[in-house]
């Protein structure tokens, strides 16, 4: 078995175990970290000596973070959220709405500098300045939403529509219905910022769909002008403003589970 395929196979096993609440990497780090924890505890206890500024409360061992990085600036969500928030800032639309993107990522970025309306099939009880939340199923469009805005985003969300993961109705064509409704929501000449997993086309039920780039381009044909295309590769690196040439499209830019990021204008 080729090394790349073996890595994918092992990752799938890891993910399947992780969704059941067992993180093997965290367990291994915790076992390794326990010795450091004991050693550090006795060291700080000896430094305390008779000082009474702080007492020791109930132990709360954090065993794995000693081996982790200070932060991760890679991957689908990090790059797409930052890149598209920058584009919205630069283009400064009259009304921007978002469909299903990360509230604690993209929407929070945008809310720093402007108001954003967020639509999701799930409820959100929290209220935050500059984020207006509306619960809605975008596979079924309210007629009042037609020609509603001049700027719209949907980042890493369309691949879930119709798979039931978030309590939405099961619909094999859910992604098509959502994309058609987004087209109706957006005014002519308006911007659509879109991202989704790219690679060999498939449904990994009920997590997500993965889209062939050519399939996506056919969905957008005669509806949008593609102004820029970027992607995040399987290793989590961003390739910004790349050309959509035929060989890369055929090869899905070398991605098995990458992220295609489109900036488009409605024709």
The Cα–Cα gap between 114 and 49 comes to 52
Classified as helix, coil or strand, 253 is helix
CATH numbers and ranges of domains, the chain? 3-67 (no CATH), 76-266 (3.40.50.150)
- pLDDT tens across the length of the chain (267 residues): 677 777 777 877 877 787 788 888 888 889 999 999 999 999 999 999 889 999 999 999 999 998 888 899 999 999 999 999 999 999 999 999 999 999 999 999 999 999 999 999 999 999 999 999 999 999 999 999 999 999 999 999 999 999 999 999 999 999 999 999 999 999 999 999 999 999 999 999 999 999 999 999 999 999 999 999 999 999 999 999 999 999 999 999 999 999 999 999 999
Contact between residue 63 and residue 33 where contact means Cβ atoms under 8 Å apart: yes
DSSP E strand boundaries for the chain: 96-99, 116-120, 131-135, 149-155, 186-198, 202-204, 208-210, 224-232, 238-239, 258-266
Contact between residue 155 and residue 193 where contact means Cβ atoms under 8 Å apart: yes
């Amino acid at each position: 078995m080729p090394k790349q395929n073996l890595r994918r196979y092992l990752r799938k096993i890891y993910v399947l175990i992780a969704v059941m609440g067992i993180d093997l990497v965290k367990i291994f780090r915790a076992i390794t970290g326990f010795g450091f924890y004991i050693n550090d505890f006795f060291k700080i206890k000896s430094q305390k000596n008779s000082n009474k500024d702080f007492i020791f409360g109930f132990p709360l061992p954090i065993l794995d973070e000693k081996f982790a990085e200070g932060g991760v600036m890679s991957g689908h969500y990090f790059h797409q959220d930052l890149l598209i928030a920058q584009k919205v800032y630069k283009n400064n639309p009259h009304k921007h709405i978002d469909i299903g993107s990360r509230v604690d990522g993209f929407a929070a970025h945008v809310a720093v500098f402007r108001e954003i309306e967020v639509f999701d099939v799930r409820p959100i009880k929290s209220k935050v300045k500059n984020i207006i939340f509306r619960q809605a199923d975008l596979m079924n469009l309210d007629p009042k939403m037609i020609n509603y805005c001049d700027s719209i985003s949907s980042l890493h969300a369309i691949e879930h529509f119709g798979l039931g993961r978030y309590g939405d109705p099961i619909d094999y064509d859910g992604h098509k219905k959502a994309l058609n409704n987004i087209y109706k929501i957006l005014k002519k000449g308006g911007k659509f910022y879109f991202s989704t997993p790219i690679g060999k086309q498939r449904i990994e039920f009920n997590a997500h769909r993965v889209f062939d780039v050519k399939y996506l381009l056919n969905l957008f044909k005669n509806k949008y002008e593609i102004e820029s295309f970027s992607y995040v590769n399987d290793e989590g690196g961003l390739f910004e403003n790349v050309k959509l040439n035929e060989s890369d499209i055929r090869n899905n830019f070398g991605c098995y589970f990458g992220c295609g990021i489109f900036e488009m204008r409605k024709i």
